[in-house]
Amino acid sequence: MRMVFRWYGEGNDTVTLKQIRQIPGVEGVVWALHDLPAGEEWPMERILSFKGQVEKYGLHIEVVESVNVHEDIKLGRPTRDQYIENYKRTIENLGKVGVKVICYNFMPVFDWIRTDLHKELEDGSTALFYEKAKVADMDPIELVRNIADNPDFTMPGWEPERLQRLTELFAAYEDVTEEDLWDHLQYFLEQVIPIAEQNGIQMAIHPDDPPWSIFGLPRIMTNKANIGRLLKLVDNPYNGVTLCSGSLGVNPDNNVAEMVREFADRIPFAHIRNVRLYENGDFIETSHRACDGSVDICDMVKAYHENGFTGYARPDHGRHIWDEQCRPGYGLYDRALGIMYLWGIWDSLERERRGKRYAAHS
C-alpha cells in the first residue's frame, strides 16, 4: 500500500506540503489543476510548475484527482469528440511527468453531495452529513443558487460554470437514461484507455457519492454489479476503479471488503473513510476507526492486504477536530490520525504474515 494525501495547492489549502511530509508513510500528494474548466487540455507549464512545488518536499505527484469529464461527453453530444481529444492530450502530458493514476467520475452535473458541512458528533467534532429527506424535498436549482451566492462555500468538483448553467444542464439530462449514460461512458473509455495504456496511466473511475439517483439524474457507479460491468466495457488493466469505501459504504447492501476481494487487480487507487448509517437513510462521516462507523474498515484493509495491494491509498474525508479551520472534509488532523490507524491495521497484518521477526524498518 502506497499512502498519499490530497492537496489542493498553495493558496487553496490550509494544509502545507511541509505538514504532509511529516505524516509517517506518506510519499506523495493527490492533486489537480482545479481552476481549469472541465474539457480543457492541461498545459505542460502548469503541470511542471506544480510538480516542482511538490518535489521540493520529497513528495511525488503520481496520482491525479480529478481530470474532470466534460458534460458534453456524459450527454453524448456531437461536441464530445473535441473534449475527448483534449482529455487524451492531458493524459499524454501527465504521462510525461510520471503520473500513474487518473481518478475521474462520470456523475451528471454534481459530484458528491451533503446537506450539512459541520454536523456535530457526540465528541464535539463536526463532519459532513447527509439528510435523506432534505435532499428528497430539495429544489436543486434554488440550492445551487444559494451556494453560488455564498463566497465562503467550497465544494470540490462543482465548477462555477456548471453552477451557472444548472437549469440548462437539468433540461439536457431530462431524457438521458442510465443505459444512455452507460453508452456514453463506453464511448469515452474506448477512446481514452488506449492512450492511457500507451502512457502508463491507469484510469480509475470514482463511484457515485451517494450511490443512488439525486434529483432524478442517472447514476451508474453504485454497486458491485455495476463496477463489474464497467470493467468489462473495456476489459483492459488500465481501465480500473477508485474504490471509495465512504461512497459505496452508505448503501448497507454494499459490502466494500467483498468488492476489494472481487476487483483487487483493477483497483489502482483506494479512498478509505468511514461513515455511520442511520435507519432513516441519513449518514454522517466519522473517524476512520472501525467501531465509529458502519463500514468494516478492518476487514476491508485485510482484504487489500490479502491480495497484495501495491496501489495508492489515501484517507478520504475527515472530521473537523481541534478547532481546525479548513476545507470541509479536508483538514489535516483527522486525516493524519486516519493514516496512522490504517498503518496500524496494515502493520499488524504484516507482523502476522511475516512472524515476530517483522519490525517497522524491515
Closest of 251, 3, 252, 216 to residue 108, by C-alpha: 216
Angle, helix 80-96 to helix 178-198, in steps of 10 degrees: 30
- The answer to whether 244 is a known catalytic residue is yes
Domain 2-354 indexed as CATH 3.20.20.150: yes
Percent over 70 (pLDDT), the chain: 91
Q: Contact at 8 Å (CB) between 121 and 224?
A: no
- In a 10 Å sphere around its CB, with 0-12 CB exposed, 13-18 middle and 19+ buried, how is residue 165 labelled? middle
CA dist 203 and 64 (Å) reads 10
Instruction: Retrieve residue 351's grid coordinates.
Output: 507482523
The answer to whether residue 317 is catalytic is: yes
Residue of 173, 238, 244, 333 with catalytic role = 244
> Lowest-pLDDT range, 116-120, 148-152, 209-213?
148-152
As a whole-number percent, the residues of the chain with pLDDT over 90 amount to 81
Distance in angstroms (rounded) separating the CA atoms of residues 246 and 313: 13
The three three-digit cell numbers of residue 171, written as one number: 433540461
Mean pLDDT is lowest, of 56-65, 92-101, 134-143, 156-165, for 156-165
Is there a catalytic annotation at residue 316? yes
Which of 165, 113, 119 has its CA nearest to residue 141? Answer: 165
The catalytically annotated residue of 13, 87, 130, 206 is: 206
Cell triple for residue 2? 502506497
pTM of the model as a whole = 0.92
Tens-place pLDDT, residues 24-68 = 999 999 999 999 999 999 999 999 999 999 999 999 999 999 999
Cα 176 from Cα 73, distance rounded (Å)? 12
Report whether pLDDT(222) > 70: yes
Instruction: Mark whether 271 is an active-site residue.
Output: yes
User: Could you say which of 83, 173, 238, 330 is catalytic?
Assistant: 330
pLDDT computed for residue 221 by the predictor: 98
The pLDDT of residue 313 is 98
Residue 253 pLDDT greater than 50, yes or no:
yes
pLDDT given for residue 147 in this prediction = 60
Which residue in 184, 288, 305, 317 is the catalytic one?
Answer: 317
Biggest alpha carbon distance in the chain? 63
- Domain spans, the chain: 2-354
pLDDT in the model for residue 137 = 78
**pLDDT band with cut points at 50, 70 and 90 for residue 154:** very low
Confidence of residue 161 (pLDDT cuts 50, 70, 90): low
Tell me the average pLDDT of the chain. 92
CA–CA separation, 343 vs 126, rounded Å?
Answer: 24
HEC profile for the chain? Answer: CEEEEECCCCCCCCCCHHHHHCCCCEEEEEECCCCCCCCCCCCHHHHHHHHHHHHCCCCEEEEEECCCCCHHHHHCCCCHHHHHHHHHHHHHHHHHCCCCEEEECCCCCCCCCCCEEEEECCCCCEEEEECHHHHHCCCHHHHHHHHHCCCCCCCCCCCHHHHHCHHHHHHHCCCCCHHHHHHHHHHHHHHHHHHHHHCCCEEEECCCCCCCCECCECCCCCCHHHHHHHHHHCCCCCEEEEEEHHHHHCCCCCCHHHHHHHHHHHCCEEEECCEEECCCCCEEECCCCHHHCCCCHHHHHHHHHHCCCCCEEEECCCCECCCCCCCCCCCCHHHHHHHHHHHHHHHHHHHHHHCCCCCCCC
**From 72, 208, 316, 334, the catalytic residue:** 316
> Of the residues 271, 288, 305, 320, which is catalytic?
271
Cell output for 57: 518536499
